[in-house]
Amino acid sequence: MQEELDAMGLDIELLAINKADAESGTSLFSEDMVLPMVQDSDDAGVWTAWDATWRDVYVVDSDNVHVGTFNLTGHSLGEEENYTTLLDMLTTAAE
pLDDT digits over 10-40, tens only? 999 998 888 888 767 666 665 666 778 888 8
Residues 6+ apart with CB under 8 A from 40: 17, 18, 19, 20, 46, 47
Residue 70 confidence class, pLDDT cut points 50, 70, 90: very high
- pLDDT at position 32: 62
| Alpha carbon distance 53, 12 (integer Å) | 22
What average pLDDT does the chain have?
A: 87
| Alpha carbon distance 56, 50 (integer Å) | 10
Give the percent of the chain with pLDDT over 90: 51
Helix (H) or strand (E) holding 69: strand 66-71
- pLDDT at position 22: 73
- pLDDT at position 29: 60
